[in-house]
Structure 1
């Protein structure tokens, strides 16, 4: 029998952003209801309710964007120093799709390649290059006309 994993608590800034988003969504929905009812009644409240609804939609989108940003910031804080991805050390990363070679005719898509693209050839220590070093690139300098 497996034991369900306990979810970690969200960081404070993410929870605060989520609460603001829910409140903004609630006020926007109240504005929608008021605008709908005032349009049926032909009331003067229609214009302010529509303006409140528009501001509420803008505020809700702003809060949702704030949630995304604060989650990214919290994930960056949880990364160990020098890691390139948030779950560093939890499992071995797979090769990116761009590094995988195309399957050849007769080769199954699920077969593993024989040699990884990321393997570097062993370099011999203190091996001299056959070509002489190239001089640094010099850009043309225009001379001013008299």
Structure 2
């Protein structure tokens, strides 16, 4: 039987974001319960409870997005070359890039942004009229 692998501890900013998400979700669920009970009772607390529930849904989504972002940031920090974990190391340095071509005499390799590769528009010239042969 294999020994279960220990899970690594989440970084502090990810754990803090997860705690905020759980608290926001609890706040939203309390708002749902209060709104449901206020609607059954016909109480005046319905509108504030619905507003609190809406804010709670917005806050919960915000916290979930914060968790995703903080996890990405923590993963990028862990992928530093020379880190202790073998799968978190960065890519080995690549070969140097090839030299860029020198600009040509006509300047076609490096052009300014306002310059175009196409020649300027020339309106079509009218064709000369050839008279029809007479019999």
Q: TM-score range by the shorter chain?
A: 0.5 to 0.7
Partner of 1:30: 30
How many positions carry a matched residue from both structures? 96
- SS in structure 2 opposite 1:23? helix
User: Could you say if the C-alpha distance between residues 37 and 77 of structure 1 is closer, same or farther in structure 2, counting changes exceeding 3 Å?
Assistant: same
List per-residue Cα deviations over 1:108-141 (Å, max 9, x = no partner). Answer: xxxxxxxxxxxxxxxxxxxxxxxxx87231547x
Normalization by structure 1: what TM-score? 0.59
Indicate yes or no: 2:21 matched with 1:21.
yes
CA distance in 2, matches of 1:25, 1:57: 8
Runs of 5+ consecutive residues of structure 2 not aligned to the other structure: 90-101, 121-135
CA distance in 2, matches of 1:20, 1:134: 56
What is the deviation of 1:15?
0.4
- SS in structure 2 opposite 1:7? coil
Partner of 2:45: 45
- SS in structure 2 opposite 1:5? coil
Normalization by structure 2: what TM-score? 0.63
CA distance in 1, matches of 2:51, 2:26: 15
CA distance in 1, matches of 2:46, 2:103: 75
- SS in structure 1 opposite 2:73? helix
Partner of 2:75: 75
User: Could you say if the C-alpha distance between residues 25 and 71 of structure 1 is closer, same or farther in structure 2, counting changes exceeding 3 Å?
Assistant: same
Q: Is the 8 A contact 2:78 2:88 kept in 1?
A: no
Runs of 5+ consecutive residues of structure 1 not aligned to the other structure: 90-132
CA distance in 2, matches of 1:12, 1:4: 24
What is the deviation of 1:3?
1.7
What is the deviation of 1:87?
3.4
